[in-house]
Chains A and B, each alone.
Chain A
Amino acid sequence: MSDHEDGSHLTEMELRVRALETVLAEKGYIDPAVLDLIVEHFETKVGPHIGARVVAQAWVDTAFRQALLADATAAIAASGNFPPVGDHLIAVENTPDQHNMVVCTLCSCYPWDVLGLPPVWYKSAPYRSRVVMDPRGVLREFGVALPEGARLRVWDSTAETRYLVLPRRPAGTEGWTVDQLAALVTRDSMIGTGLALTPEGDPQ
């Protein structure tokens, strides 16, 4: 780095971000060391592993499942088994009759506290434009075929509520532990663009 102290090796985006950060820091509005912590948190601490454990717990514990469906933020806080989540998290349960899918057509609202950062496709124009109108077409692209007769419900995150889909528990997992079950809960199954994996770890 010493031969590039003028930043000449940086891309235009890096230079622009660095300029904004430096000016805000020199004025005392922000502390760059705190930014490091925020980046580390979102890069390494939060992710779908949190939501997967919440789902697995709901599969094995009826009281927790009912509390989660009543008020997901409160149920997760009360259980003591998970990191805290912010307000207004709503869990929506897939059943044999109804499959749920989540989108934010207006921006990219997503339950970061339980799923981490959203993937690029979730924030993209194709997903946001199509899933409210043609969810079955979107599901086909994700390789998901719904059972005959299943209704589709799309939840558009237009306010400050956030949604976590509770996928159906795969058959053949009776007696499994929360850890074993969590390994079958994919990120996409908690958005509704996928299903939980089979006991063999394959897509259904």
Chain B
Amino acid sequence: MNAVHDLGGMQGFGEVVREAGEPAFHADWEGRVLALQRAVLYTRAANLDGFRHAQESLSARTYLSISYYHRWLLALTKLTLDLGLVQGEELQTGHALAPAKPLGRRLTRAEVAAAYLRSPFGRNPQGSPRFKPGDAVRTKNLHPEGHTRLPRYARDKVGRIEALCGCHVFADSSAAGMGDDPQWVYTVVFDGRTLWGEPADASLTVSIEAFEPYLEAC
């Protein structure tokens, strides 16, 4: 979706502000939100792509005005409400009122290490890759209402395949609850001037990781 999370190339946000001696978490609740996210996704009731889409679905005003973990909390709350894992009244009272739904699995102490590392996203390919390193490609001019990982600044642009990165869960499908629909992923490199015009740094290249359905031959 064309929302404000898709920040690449936007102007007017000012300087990058750094914090000296930044702690891992700025408040205890931030760590709880991170841990809750890991534990909820582990149940397989929801997935990471759906979690990202829930953040993107926040209003632009909300997305830009709250902190990172606050955004995570709102996304996690929306996901658990939408999935019927919790109800609004329960969150109001702070206690369970309705019976639990059966879920696939629950994160236990014995399996907690699984929540520390990234999950594998590689899947068995359905066919051969359509492109190879060196091929010129044009990204499609896509504007889906759902989740996508093709940033606006890199749509309808000519680039070059640099590498094939494997066959992965297709985020656009996964976020919509439509399954893994595995797709080839490529590193696609663009000249800075292709993206930003003549004033751009002639020595700049920018790459994205593009799922095959985002690309066409050119």
Contact = CB atoms under 8 A, between A and B. Distances in A.
A152 B40 contact: no
Q: Please tell me the size bucket of the interface on B.
A: 35 or more
A158 B121 CA distance: 13
Contacts of B16: 121, 124, 126-127, 130, 138, 141-142
Contacts of A23: 86, 90-91, 94-96
A20 B15 contact: no
Contacts of B29: 11, 13-14, 17-18
A28 B106 contact: yes
A151 B206 CA distance: 11
B9 A39 contact: no
B8 A128 contact: yes
Contact of A160 (B5, B32, B121): B121
Q: Please tell me the size bucket of the interface on A.
A: 35 or more
A20 B86 contact: yes
Contact of A105 (B8, B39, B94, B165): B8
Interface string A42-55: 11011000000000
B52 A24 contact: no
Interface string B161-188: 0000110110100000000000001010
A30 interface: yes
A155 B36 CA distance: 29
Interface of B: 5-11, 13-19, 22, 24-25, 27-29, 31-36, 38-40, 43, 45, 52, 55, 64, 68, 70, 73, 76-77, 80, 85-86, 90-96, 99-101, 103, 106-109, 112, 115-122, 149-151, 153-154, 165-166, 168-169, 171, 185, 187, 189, 192, 195-196, 200-201, 203-211
